[in-house]
Amino acid sequence: MSLSTEFERVELPLEDAFTISRSTQEVAENVIVRISDGEGNEGVGGAAPSAHYGETADTVEAVLPDLLAAVEEVDDPHQLERIEGRLTDVVERNAAARCAVSIALHDLVCERLDLSLYQYWGLDPTESIESSYTIGIDTAERMREKTERAVERGYSTLKVKVGTDRDEEILAAVREAAPDATVRVDANEGWTPREAVRKVEMLDGYGVEFVEQPVPAGDPEGLRFVREQSVLPIAADESCVTLEDIPRIADKADIANLKLMKCGGLREAVRMIHAARAHGMEVMLGCMIESNASIAAATHLAPLLDYADLDGSLLLAEDPYAGVPMDGGEIDLEAIDRPGTGVRAE
């Protein structure tokens, strides 16, 4: 075989500026990876680097030549386990960069086998759960409007960003606009442990389903304290990055929120799902703000999840790639049947 590889940086403007407790973002910079087998098949993947985890589009572009050289050296895309191991040898960190390569390889392998990624894994997409749609931090009035718009577009599960000094005002506004929606909140490390316990009680009054990352990842005992005192389930996101984190957080959170861009690849994500189950945790798969070049792959894992938060592409003004549509948060069962991840250039 003669594998050839290339990558390209893309600027993706967001539909609305996206604010969480610690930052605001107006553009997402992703890096798209393409791997061809010289026999007419091409796999596409994407990196959505996050500065919070030490990556930018620059760092992704800096390490991709070495990662792709390792792929070309093995020269057999079906050797997925071996290649992903080599990628970790090349760069131990840089998870988003490795993830783009992992996704492109899986897309290519499934195209070669004429299988959809879910079929390759033996999964049943009719067991997929609905994805949430995220409402970023804004004025309470703007968040009410965004919530109304999401409900009109058919989303019945919302993830609301909090971690401000007006969290109750925000929840009241969201609940007014979406009285029947399932509402989860994400504080993105925005509270102290004692503050978090008080906030969780308040949130319970608004019928919130669970609370994500109430306290900083650097305070594991604070997370444990919140979980012990909390009336709602607690999800760990910033505290749950790689496989090694699962046993560390198992007694400090109820739900493990994985992201492909944090753990570095599809195979590592599946290992984390099973490790979390073995530790009695529920599993959520989240995402960064990212193109369908990477989100499409994540939708195939939905049958393995308790909670899906795969709206990364839905927050973009436009996406150069189409993937598996999720109108109203429901995975399109026809699109997911295409060979590979279902990604294609628009």
What are the residues binding Mg ion (CB under 5 A)?
186, 212, 237
Q: DSSP class of residue 189?
A: T
Residue type, 147: T
Shortest distance (Å) from residue 228 CB to Mg ion: 21
- What's the Rg (C-alpha) of the chain? 19
| Of 110 and 289, CB closest to Mg ion | 289
Q: Which residue number, 157 or 341, has a Cβ lying nearer to Mg ion?
A: 157
Name residue 270's amino acid: V
Closest-CB residue for Mg ion? 237
Output the smallest distance, CB 308 to Mg ion, in A: 13
- Give the other-Cβ count within 10 Å of 135's Cβ: 30
Q: Name the minimum Å distance from CB 62 to Mg ion.
A: 26
Reading the block at residue 25, the tokens are 């973002």
CB 116 to Mg ion: min, Å: 28
Please give the Cα distance from 289 to 128 (Å, whole number).
21
- Nearest to Mg ion of 187, 336 (CB atom): 187
In this structure, what are the phi and psi dihedrals at residue 19, rounded to the nearest 5 degrees? -115, 135
What number of residues does the chain have?
Answer: 346
Of 104 and 241, which CB lies nearer to Mg ion in the complex structure? 241
Single out the residue of 165, 175, 168 nearest to residue 144, CA to CA. Answer: 175
What type of residue sits at position 98? R
Minimum gap (Å) between residue 76 Cβ and Mg ion:
36
Q: How far is the CB of 319 from Mg ion (least distance, A)?
A: 21
Q: Which is nearer to Mg ion, 186 or 254 (CB)?
A: 186
261 or 336: CB nearest Mg ion? 261
User: What is the H or E stretch that residue 63 is in?
Assistant: helix 57-74
